[in-house]
C-alpha cells in the first residue's frame, strides 16, 4: 500500500491532478483510516436493488438529514437470513471506501441486521407472506386425517424426548397402530435436507397412513430448520396427510402452516393422529346398539305386515276370491251375449232396409207392375225410338220371360 502523508508531512501537490488521480488519492485516504475501515452505521434502506445476475445488493442508507450509498457483495449477501427491502431500518457493519470510476464514496457492507427486529423473524415473515400468496397454506388444499390409521410415520430425532412422548401416547391410545420412525436431524443447516428425505421416503414407499414431523421446544434459532422453504413445499406436496408438531404451543413455524394439521406439541400430535381405543370401543358399542334397534324395528314392522296378510280374507278363504271372480265372469258373459244379440238384430234391420232400397231400384221389379223392357241384340237397353232401326233384332222382357222380335217399322212420335 502506498504511504499516506498527513498535515505537514504531506508532499507538495502538483499544480493540477487528473480526475482519476484525485479519486485514487481520496480512496487511499479512506482506505488508510482505521476508523473508517471498521465502522457500524444505522439507517433506513431506500433504492434497494438486487442484482440478479451477480447477486450483489445495491442500496442507499439514509436518515432524516442525509444519505450514503452502500453495497453488499454476493459473498456477504448469501449469509443473510432475510431479504432487505425499501423502508427497512438496519444496522450495517463494513468499511468506507471510494469508487474511483464514479468519484463517490460508499459503505461496503459485510453484515446487516434489522434495527429493532431480529433477522430471523423478518425472514420468517417474508417467507410466510410469499408462500401464503402462492396458495401453499390455503385451507382447500389441506387433506383430512384418516379416521383409524394403522401405520403412523414419524420424522424426528430418534434420541429426543419428543419421540418418546409420541410413542407412549400412541401406544396408550391405540395399541393396534404400528409406528415407523425416520431418524433425522431437527436443527442445524443439514436438518432440512434430512427432514425432506423422510417425507420422500414415506411417500415413495406408501409406508404410512399419516405422518408426524416435528421436534420438542427450543429457541427460534433451534426451530429454524422447520422454516425452510424446501421443507414447506415438500410438506405441502406430500400425498400422505402431515401433522406438524414443532416446539411448544406458542411456537409457530412455516412447516405448521404448510402441513394439513398443526399440533401444539408432539404429544398432542400423537393424540390427534390416532383414536382413543376406549372411546372407539364406546362409539362402536353405541353404533351396534343403534343398528340393533333399527333392525329390531324393521323386524317388528315386517311381522305386523305378515300378521295382517295372514289375517286377510284371501288367505283365510282363498276360494272366496275365486267364487267372486266366477260370478263376475258369468255376469260379463251374459252382458256379452245380450250385446251380441242386440248387435245382430241391429245389423239385420239395417240389411233389410238396404235390401228394400235396392229392390226399389231394380228395373225388373218395375216389370211386375205391367211394364216391359226392350233390349237390343247386344244386350243394350233401348231407351228411345231413336235406338232402333227397321230390321233390328230385339228382345222384349216382361213378367214371366222374354220375346225375341224383328222390327218391321219404326215410327217416331210427332209432337
Alpha-carbon 411 to chain mean position? 114
Contact (CB, 8 A) for 119 and 82: yes
pLDDT band at 5 (very low <50, low <70, confident <90, very high): very low
Q: Which grid cell sits at 379?
A: 244386350
pLDDT at 367: 64
Higher confidence at residue 242 or residue 411? 242
Quote the pLDDT of residue 168.
Answer: 93
What 228-232 contacts at long range (C-beta under 8 Å, 24+ apart), as own/partner pairs, is 228/192, 228/195, 228/254, 229/127, 229/131, 229/254, 230/192, 230/193, 230/196, 231/192, 231/195, 231/196, 231/255, 232/127, 232/131, 232/136, 232/257, 232/258
Q: How many CA atoms lie within 13 A of 4 on its CB side?
A: 13
Q: Which of 225-229, 284-288, 352-356 has the least mean pLDDT?
A: 352-356
Domain extents in the chain: 7-117, 125-140+149-275, 366-406
Residue among 227, 273, 229 nearest 246 (CA): 227
| Distance in angstroms (rounded) separating the CA atoms of residues 230 and 221 | 17
Q: Residue 50 pLDDT > 80, yes or no?
A: yes
Indicate the Cα dihedral angle 246, 247, 253, 256, nearest 10°: 40
Looking at the predicted structure, is the pLDDT value of residue 10 above 60? no
Q: Are 213 and 155 in contact (CB under 8 A)?
A: yes
Percent of the residues in the chain that have a pLDDT greater than 70, as a whole number: 92
How far apart are the C-alpha atoms of 209 and 174, rounded to whole Å? 14
Distance, CA of 141 to CA of 60 (rounded, Å):
42
254 CB burial (10 A radius; 0-12, 13-18, 19+):
buried
d(CA 324, CA 114): 104
pLDDT score for 270: 93
Q: Which fold has domain 7-117?
A: OB fold (Dihydrolipoamide Acetyltransferase, E2P) (2.40.50)
Region 104-109 average pLDDT: 91
Q: Which residue has the cell 450509498?
A: 69
Q: Which three cell numbers stand for residue 39?
A: 465502522
pLDDT of residue 7: 46
CATH number of 125-140+149-275, picked from 3.30.1700.10, 3.40.50.2300, 3.30.200.20, 3.10.450.50: 3.40.50.2300
- C-alpha of 73 from chain center: 47
Instruction: List the single range of 10-14, 212-216, 356-360, 381-385 with lowest mean pLDDT.
Output: 10-14
Q: Express each pLDDT in 223-239 by its tens digit.
A: 889 999 999 999 999 99
pLDDT confidence bin for 178, thresholds 50/70/90: very high
Question: Per-residue pLDDT tens for 59-72?
Answer: 999 888 888 999 99
pLDDT: is 413 or 259 the higher one?
Answer: 259
Say if 7-117 and 125-140+149-275 have the same CATH topology. no
CA end-to-end span of the chain, whole Å? 170
Which tens digits make up the pLDDT trace of 131-165?
999 999 999 999 999 999 999 999 999 998 899 99
Query: How far apart, in Å, are the Cα atoms of 256 and each of 137, 142, 224, 265, 303?
Result: 9, 12, 12, 11, 58
CA 361 – CA 382 distance, rounded (Å): 18
Does residue 169 surpass a pLDDT of 90?
A: yes
pTM: 0.52
Which residue, 3, 256, 21, is CA-closest to 127?
256
User: Angle, nearest 10°, between helix axes 229-237 and 191-205?
Assistant: 10
Amino acid at each position: 500500500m502506498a504511504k499516506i502523508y498527513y498535515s505537514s508531512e504531506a508532499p507538495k501537490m502538483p499544480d493540477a491532478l487528473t480526475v482519476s488521480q484525485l479519486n485514487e488519492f481520496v480512496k487511499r485516504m479512506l482506505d488508510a483510516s482505521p476508523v473508517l475501515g471498521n465502522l457500524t452505521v444505522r439507517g433506513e434502506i431506500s433504492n434497494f436493488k438486487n442484482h440478479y445476475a451477480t447477486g450483489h445488493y445495491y442500496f442507499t442508507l439514509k436518515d432524516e438529514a442525509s444519505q450514503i450509498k452502500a453495497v453488499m457483495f454476493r459473498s456477504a449477501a448469501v449469509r443473510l437470513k432475510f431479504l432487505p427491502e425499501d423502508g427497512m431500518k438496519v444496522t450495517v457493519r463494513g468499511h468506507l471506501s471510494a469508487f474511483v470510476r464514479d468519484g463517490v464514496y460508499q459503505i461496503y457492507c459485510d453484515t446487516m441486521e434489522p434495527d429493532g427486529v431480529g433477522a430471523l423473524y423478518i425472514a420468517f415473515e417474508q417467507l410466510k407472506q410469499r408462500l401464503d400468496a402462492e396458495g401453499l397454506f390455503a385451507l382447500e388444499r389441506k387433506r383430512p386425517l384418516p379416521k383409524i390409521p394403522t401405520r403412523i410415520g414419524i420424522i424426528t430425532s430418534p434420541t429426543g424426548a419428543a419421540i418418546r412422548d409420541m410413542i407412549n401416547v400412541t401406544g396408550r391410545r391405540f395399541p393396534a397402530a404400528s409406528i415407523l420412525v425416520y431418524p433425522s436431524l431437527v436443527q442445524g443447516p443439514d436438518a432440512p435436507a434430512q427432514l425432506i428425505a423422510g417425507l420422500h421416503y414415506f411417500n415413495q414407499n406408501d409406508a404410512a397412513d399419516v405422518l408426524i414431523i416435528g421436534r420438542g421446544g427450543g429457541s427460534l434459532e433451534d426451530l429454524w430448520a422447520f422454516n425452510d422453504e424446501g421443507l414447506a413445499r415438500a410438506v405441502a406436496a406430500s400425498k400422505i396427510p402431515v401433522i406438524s408438531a414443532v416446539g411448544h404451543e406458542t411456537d409457530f413455524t412455516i412447516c405448521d402452516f404448510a402441513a394439513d394439521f398443526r399440533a401444539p406439541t408432539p404429544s398432542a400430535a400423537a393424540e390427534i393422529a390416532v383414536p382413543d381405543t376406549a372411546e372407539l370401543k364406546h362409539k362402536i358399542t353405541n353404533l351396534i346398539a343403534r343398528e340393533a334397534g333399527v333392525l329390531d324395528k324393521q323386524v317388528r314392522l315386517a311381522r305386523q305386515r305378515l300378521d295382517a296378510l295372514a289375517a286377510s280374507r284371501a288367505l283365510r278363504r282363498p276360494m272366496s276370491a275365486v267364487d267372486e271372480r266366477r260370478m263376475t265372469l258369468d255376469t260379463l258373459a251374459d252382458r256379452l251375449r245380450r250385446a251380441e244379440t242386440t248387435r245382430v238384430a241391429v245389423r239385420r234391420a239395417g240389411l233389410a232396409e238396404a235390401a228394400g232400397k235396392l229392390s226399389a231400384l231394380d228395373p225388373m221389379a218395375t216389370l211386375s207392375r205391367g211394364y216391359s223392357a226392350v233390349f237390343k241384340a247386344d244386350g243394350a237397353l233401348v231407351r228411345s225410338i231413336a235406338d232402333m232401326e227397321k230390321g233390328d233384332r230385339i228382345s222384349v222382357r216382361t213378367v214371366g220371360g222374354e220375346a225375341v222380335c224383328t222390327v218391321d217399322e219404326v215410327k217416331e212420335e210427332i209432337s
